[in-house]
Chains A and B, each alone.
Chain A
Amino acid sequence: MPDATGLELIGQELGDAVLETVFFRDRATLLIDPQSIRSVLAHLRGKGYTFMASVHGVDYYPEEPRLGVVYELLDMGRVDRITVKLRVPSDAPEVDSVTPDTPQGAGWPTCDHQEREVYDMFGVVFRGHPDLRRILMPEDYEGHPQRRDFPLGGEPVIFTYNEPHGPRSQR
């Protein structure tokens, strides 16, 4: 991990793109402006964080902006990790996809399935993703189940329709 000072330095280099730097339990996190995700990741790649370990979604319900996307970057040479986080409002959950190659920098092919999962589970739309479809849930599924206000359980048992609650129950 970069130490607290190193994180501040990275934050200063990125300028206005960084909204907040968080150093928590020896882990460095940059909270950034969703508009600048491609340029921030390209900058960090130039600093050695060339491996995208993970992309996942978080729901900060009931706070706004509600939906978060977290990118875990890794520098294998220095064994150094940094987390890039952005938050988008639930009424316009859109952010640029980092999967394809773009003028701002080379793409991260590993984000393909992971961005699809975030879209599937949270409904965050990744602009420019080559193939943004549901990945784990059925194609005709309604709703995004990992959102905090999505009810737990209540999925009807198929062909019986004896489950009284839930979004897809047949009353």
Chain B
Amino acid sequence: MNSTEESRARSEYRRREESITLSAVEEQIEDARATGGGPELLTLNFGPHHPATHGVLRLLVNLQGEVVRDIKPIIGYVHTGIEKTAEDKSYWKVIPVIERMDYLSYYFNSMAFVGAVETLLEVEVPKRAQYLRVIHMELNRIMSHLVWLGTSALDLGAISMLWYCFRERERICDLFEMSSGQRMHTRYFQVGGVIEDIPVGFAAKLAEFVAEMPGRADQYKALLHRNEIVLNRLRGVCPLDTDTLLGLGVTGPLLRASGNPWDLRKAAPYCSYGDFDFKIPVGTVGDNYDRYAVRMAEIYESVKIIEQALAGLPEGPVMTSDRKVALPPRHELATSMEALIHHFKLVTEGFRVPPGEVYNPIEGPRGELGCFVRSDGSSKPARVHMRDPSFVNLQAFSHIAEGSYIADMIAALAMLDPVLGGIDR
């Protein structure tokens, strides 16, 4: 086939493709109305065990032909009562269970919780611990976005992306394993600092990863950014404006995709985020493509933050010196009676927290992750509540996907990036 024939065939194909719009369906509905018959609706149960729902999410979808008219999300299938469990554990034992809520952003869950407890205790966290927290949180953000990118691309039909993204995720998990001994749910953040300093070789391995990651992200972009299928599936699909999103309480990349640069790391810096130079990627129209592009850009920004935190990592302790909160160093147990008593009290009873209530919001990979802790003065929290961004953002889903094709609904759900462990808790 010569080039003119090829281009004619191509444009013919494009012409036919572009002729497919919702207007044909609308006409059918109008015809049905005119002849007295109402539009025929089909209620479709979607999930809970469906690979495209990214967990155990059930959707009741009302379809008119292929067009989504109404969505009712039904949740609670993985509700495990973690908030209730937390009320029965001393503060330092709450950290492991709270990390299991949103299982892709465990560092953020523990940060929201320990931040709230530190505020109640008025404990000062050493600078080195804050920088280590930033490094791990940003690694976690990249990891969470990689899982999102891999699974979302899978929903769009790009199977190979999953393997590439999980290849890099493995390296991040290796780093987590190096610093804490666990790949997921690491219990690395403690009230007052982090459990231990990074081991020898961690910095070098991290530097190697940080140097390589932007190149890897460039490769993903080469595969996706101008991919005809990705553009057709995402661009201009399911947009939602800033005001509606704000009314629905949506935060994070979804809100930033609509052009609102709200990011708690910049707006109300916590944990030394003010020390770092990074940008907040924003979109313009808030369609699925913007949601995709914002998260992609965030990967680069997180790499920049890690680079700076690693370069400026201060020397010093990684745990507060307050022995009422922090475990004494191991070597002191054999020589100091005081240390032994503190160790015994901390491990058996845990530390007591002054009575009060604190809501501590941080910027998770999916939006504002807030932890509400109420203390009644004992060594167990009287109430722990996680304001999980997935739970709140899910309310926007019916607004986002109504009026689109069912295939676009799948793409919109992928771009919403819900984690059902966080929604159901």
Binding site for B on A (CB under 8 A): 24-25, 27, 29, 50-54, 56-59, 70, 72, 76, 79, 81, 83, 108-110, 112-114, 117, 121, 134-138, 145-146, 148, 150, 152
Q: Decide yes or no: A114 and B392 within 8 Å by CB, A59-B383, A108-B247, A136-B79 being known contacts.
A: yes
Do B249 and A110 touch across chains, with their CB atoms under 8 A apart? yes
A72-B370 in contact given A51-B246, A136-B75 (Cβ < 8 Å): yes
Contact A113 B395 (CB under 8 A): yes
6 A-B pairs, CB-CB below 8 angstroms? Answer: A53-B361, A54-B372, A56-B385, A58-B357, A145-B81, A148-B382
- B361-388 CB contacts (< 8 Å) to partner A: 361, 368, 370, 372, 374, 382-383, 385, 387
Complex Cα–Cα for A134 and B424 (A): 12
- Chain B residues within 8 Å of A152, by CB: 84-85, 87-88
- Looking at B88, B387, B425, the one whose CB has the most chain A CB atoms below 10 A away is B387
Q: Is the CB of B75 within 8 A of A135?
A: yes
In the complex, which residues of chain B have a beta carbon less than 8 angstroms from the beta carbon of A53?
249, 359, 361, 368, 370, 387
**How many Å lie between the Cα of A1 and that of B66 in the bound state?**
48
Residue in A closest to B383 when the chains form the complex, CB atoms: A58
Q: Is the CB of A25 within 8 A of B79?
A: no
Indicate whether B39 reaches chain A with its CB closer than 8 angstroms: no
Residues of B within 8 A of A110 (CB): 247-250, 392, 395
Contact A146 B392 (CB under 8 A): no
A136: which of B250, B372, B382, B424 is its contact (CB, 8 Å)? B424
Central interface residue in B250, B374, B392, by most chain A CB within 10 Å: B392
A sample of 5 more A-B contacts (CB under 8 A), given A58-B357, A70-B372, is: A53-B368, A110-B247, A110-B248, A145-B84, A152-B85
Nearest CB on A from B396, distance (A) = 9
Which 3 A-B pairs rank lowest in CB-CB distance, beginning with the nearest?
A110-B249, A54-B387, A136-B76
Q: Are B383 and A52 in contact (CB under 8 A)?
A: no
Q: Main secondary structure on chain B at its contact with chain A? A: mixed
The answer for the CA separation of A109 and B79 in the assembled complex, in Å, is: 23
CB-CB < 8 A to B356: which residues of A? 24-25
Contacts A51-B246, A136-B79, A145-B84 known; A112 to B359 CB distance under 8 Å?
no
B307 at interface, CB cutoff 8 A: no
Q: For residue B120, which residue of chain A has the nearest CB? A: A25
User: Which residue of chain A has the shortest Cβ distance to B264 in the bound complex?
Assistant: A79
A108 CA to B246 CA in the complex, in Å? 10
Is the Cβ of A54 less than 8 Å from the Cβ of B88? Answer: no
A146 and B248 contact, CB distance less than 8 A: no
Which residues of B lie under 8 Å from residue A138 when comparing CB positions? 76
Which residue among B79, B120, B249, B370 has the maximum number of chain A CB atoms within 10 Å of its CB?
A: B249
Query: Is B262 in contact with chain A by the CB < 8 A criterion?
Result: yes
Per the bound structure, the CA–CA distance linking A58 and B382 in Å amounts to 9
A109-B394 in contact (CB<8A): no
Q: Which residues of A contact B370 (CB under 8 A)?
A: 53-54, 72
Q: Is the CB of A109 within 8 A of B359?
A: no
* Closest Cβ–Cβ distance, residue A12 to chain B (whole Å): 23
CB nearest neighbor in B for A61: B382
Note all chain B residues with C-beta closer than 8 A to A58: 357, 374, 382-383
B83 lies within 8 A of chain A by Cβ: yes
C-alpha gap A109/B245 in the complex (Å) = 10
Q: Which residue, of A56, A72, A112, A134, has the highest number of chain B Cβ atoms within 10 A?
A: A56
The interface residues of chain A lying within 8 Å CB-to-CB of B246 are: 50-51, 76
- Mask for B245-284, Cβ within 8 A of A = 1, else 0? 0111110000000000010000110000000000000000
Contacts of B79 in A (CB 8 A): 136-137
